[in-house]
A and B are shown apart, each in its own frame.
Chain A
Amino acid sequence: MAYVVQSDSLTKKYGSILAVDDLSFKIESGTITGFLGPNGAGKTTTLRMLLGLANPTSGHATIFDKPYESLETPALRVGAVLEATDFHPGRSGRDHLRTLSQAVGLPDARVDEVLGVVELQSAAKRRVKGYSLGMRQRLGLAAALLGNPDLLVLDEPANGLDPEGVRWLRDFLRDFASGGRTVLISSHVLAEVAQTVDQVLIINHGRLVTESSLDDLTARVGGSVRVRSPQLTQLAEALQREGISSTQSNDHALLALGTTSEQVGDICFAAGVAIHELVTEGSSLEEVFLDLTSGEAS
Chain B
Amino acid sequence: MDLITPGTGLIFWQLIGFLGLLFILIKFAWKPMLEALEERESSIENALKSAEIARNEMANLKAENEKLLAEARKERDEILAKAHESSNRMIEEAKEEATKAGNQMIEKAKAVIDTEKKAALAEVKTQVATLTLEVSEKLLRKNLSDDKAQKELVDEFVNDLKLN
**Are A and B a genuine interacting pair, yes or no?**
no
Q: What is the interface of chain B, defined by CB distance below 8 A to chain A?
A: none
Q: What is the interface of chain A, defined by CB distance below 8 A to chain B?
A: none
